[in-house]
Structure 1
């Protein structure tokens, strides 16, 4: 009976040590064991609401259906201003508003639609709830704002898998032979 007790205790101790090792590895890589990134919801909404249609997956901006989108990497907007911009759009630009009732029953930038005199931003293809808008703002702050040029690792992280779109971010030393152009 005593041997069984010691064997059981040894296995329990070993399982605990292994669990701690995996937890330490996850923490060293910026993740807590079993805890998803709290900004994953914001990333999903960023994709679903087609923010990447103009701002691109990396947030550097560029041409899109609404014109040249500004770089979210270089933005100096605070969380509150990012939330307002998503909800109310940007008057006089192609940045759409995502908040239902914006400019109708909810004043944006202190104005309603009648006050906009032709500077009304476009309506987004779909509306977002307030907590969804906040989630996108939190995602932008955690993963885009203040970052330097996009990297291969960021690209893979955004798409959650290998994507051909990420190949342009591979360095020559990191590119595998099958991803390099064939010489003719």
Structure 2
């Protein structure tokens, strides 16, 4: 076995990392239970969030496209409204509840880029695990069959756009309503959102 780190250490470190991320991902939203407040310029979809420099100039409209099937396909596991009930069988209906997440921008960027080893959450940085940018680990640190899942590659600026969309449009929001569903599905709202009218 030519792993850089003993496997026992990897398993313990991996379990601790996943546990701490899982707790953080399902914790109440930061700042007293409310999501970050974005300032939208009158003529643009670019944002500036007070105290969150990682997202300065992010494009939330493009971030929504990254969240949808056109980009990272996050809705497949997390659901269109971030409630963790997407249709992807890999997620087993247990994806992170983005509405309840307490992650900050850096946390979202890291998890979207690096995934969460040992879980179905894939990584989206095309260079992840080729060097030690993700949790200080490289692909050779994992046993065969235990490597993190690779998702569709997303450029770094689009990971920022995606994070901005999640933090301004999903995180800290109450349960989705018919109006939320209609805004998401637009032309197909009548069919897609029928469950909200019961």
- Normalising by structure 2, report the TM-score: 0.64
Question: CA–CA distance in 1 between the matches of 2:43 and 2:133?
Answer: 42
1:59, 1:73 within 8 Å by CA — same for their partners in 2? yes
Question: CA–CA distance in 2 between the matches of 1:153 and 1:139?
Answer: 18
Aligned counterpart, 1:129: 155
Q: 1:157 to 1:91 in 2, by over 3 A?
A: same
Aligned counterpart, 1:57: 80
Counterparts of residues 148-167 of structure 1 (less than 5 Å): 148-163=174-189, 164-167=191-194
Higher relative contact order (CA 8 A, sep 6+): 2
1:62, 1:70 within 8 Å by CA — same for their partners in 2? no
- Give the structure with the higher percent strand: 1
Structure 1's unaligned 5+ residue stretches are: 1-29, 173-184
Q: 1:103 to 1:32 in 2, by over 3 A?
A: closer
1:150, 1:169 within 8 Å by CA — same for their partners in 2? no
- Normalising by structure 1, report the TM-score: 0.68
Q: Mark the structure with the bigger radius of gyration.
A: 1
Question: CA–CA distance in 1 between the matches of 2:109 and 2:116?
Answer: 12
Q: Of 31, 34, 41, which aligns to 2:62? A: 41
Q: 1:76 to 1:33 in 2, by over 3 A?
A: closer
Question: CA–CA distance in 2 between the matches of 1:66 and 1:87?
Answer: 19
